[in-house]
Structure 1
């Protein structure tokens, strides 16, 4: 009774393919990471708080990091009960998630590979995961 998972991941979404006992389940998870946001009042290069200056750039970077952490936490919960997981996709998000998995002692032994892949349709993603686990 193997429970293998393949995750195609980029900055906007992750497609989780769960192969269990010959059955296939597909789940799309949106990241909700704001990549290009214009904050109202962002015309100045700094905001003044007492004697300190804080850039809007730093605020948006902190917001993006927090949104990324939330996205990866959701994905970590998805792979908690699997036997093996493979990551693939076009962006650097797969590498960030790989580091997150390697830092979690419960998940480190489940990662079987990280691969580069182009943008794919849902059917192509499913076929890629099936081919990977046939090997």
Structure 2
């Protein structure tokens, strides 16, 4: 059975379209990545003990990297048993996922393309993936 997968990926979610013969299935995975997070106590950039400056940039970056890695692991679970994968979407998350796919020995060879795409409805995504694999 041939399983082709198209993934529309964004920072907020990934829509996985699985094509097998003439049928298709759609699954949406939320990323849970906080893009605009406010840390309590962040308003002051300095401590009360003089010239000691505190920043929360490193904490935010570490938390965002952990959330991104968790999101990518969830996507890997969905694409294990497939013949080919195509990525498309508007954000840079598709290039991050592409790099992780290429690091994986099993899935790196199954990636057939990465393309830019706008915000699409589910029907448009399914049509895009079907058109891509008809070529």
TM-score category of the 2 structures, normalised to the smaller one: over 0.9
Q: Which residue does the alignment assign to 1:65? A: 65
Q: Normalising by the residue count of structure 2, what TM-score does the alignment of the two structures yield?
A: 0.92
Within 5 Å, give how 1:87-126 maps onto structure 2.
87-126=87-126
Specify which structure has the higher proportion of strand: 1
Q: Is the 8 A contact 1:46 1:56 kept in 2?
A: no
Aligned length: 132
Inter-CA distance 53–106: structure 2 relative to 1 (3 Å threshold): farther
For structure 1, the 5+ residue unaligned runs are none
- How far apart, CA to CA, are the structure 1 residues paired with 2:60 and 2:130? 39
- How far apart, CA to CA, are the structure 2 residues paired with 1:115 and 1:73? 21
Within 5 Å, give how 1:51-62 maps onto structure 2.
55-62=55-62
Q: Provide Cα deviations, 1:36-74, integer angstroms capped at 9, x if missing partner.
A: 011111123367xxxx97631110111001000000111
Q: Normalising by the residue count of structure 1, what TM-score does the alignment of the two structures yield?
A: 0.92
CA RMSD of aligned residues (A): 1.7
Inter-CA distance 39–101: structure 2 relative to 1 (3 Å threshold): same
